Amino acid sequence: QQCTANVLTSFYALLLLLVCRSMLPDVVDHFRLLNPHAKGPETIFYSSYVFFTKMSAGIGLGISAASLEFAGYKTGMCRQSSTVILTLKILIGAVPAILIVIGLSILLFYPITEKSRKETEFALELLRAASLTGCQDSGLGK
């Protein structure tokens, strides 16, 4: 039962990472459409994504280490107290599950749909065509 919960939690954590990573190009395109004169927003978006991913991993490891320290984890011991075992179960099962539910509920409000993505793609093609011809008015209107 615990193994099944851990497998499901790991699956959803991986799914959430992949979904966020695959949303990034759509977000960059949407930003580019709203800010057509911004130069190279990809760099900021992708580097921010990597930075905050690494920062959250570091914070998570720090919280895990502190939780185990407070629970009385003893390095090198084969047997740990019941408090340490409970802390490990919470850190491995409950905490990721709660964070995944929070993340998925945030994704429900993600404003980019397939229809809006295609509209953004078309509008960006118009902007590119206008910039290639030197035309200042792309006909998009704001």
Same domain, 79 and 132: no
User: Residues 127, 33: contact at Cβ < 8 Å?
Assistant: yes
Spatial separation of the C-alpha atoms in residues 97 and 89, rounded to whole Å:
12
The low-confidence residues of the chain, meaning pLDDT below 70, are 1-2, 5, 134-142
pLDDT of residue 131: 79
Same domain, 138 and 95: no
The DSSP string of 31-100 is: HHHH-TT---HHHHHHHHHHHHHHHHHHHHHHHHHHHHHHHT--TT-SS--HHHHHHHHIIIIIHHHHHH
Same domain, 22 and 62: yes
Same domain, 43 and 77: yes
Domain that holds residue 129: 114-142
The DSSP element (H or E) to which 18 belongs, if any, is helix 2-34
**What is the value of pTM for the model shown?**
0.71
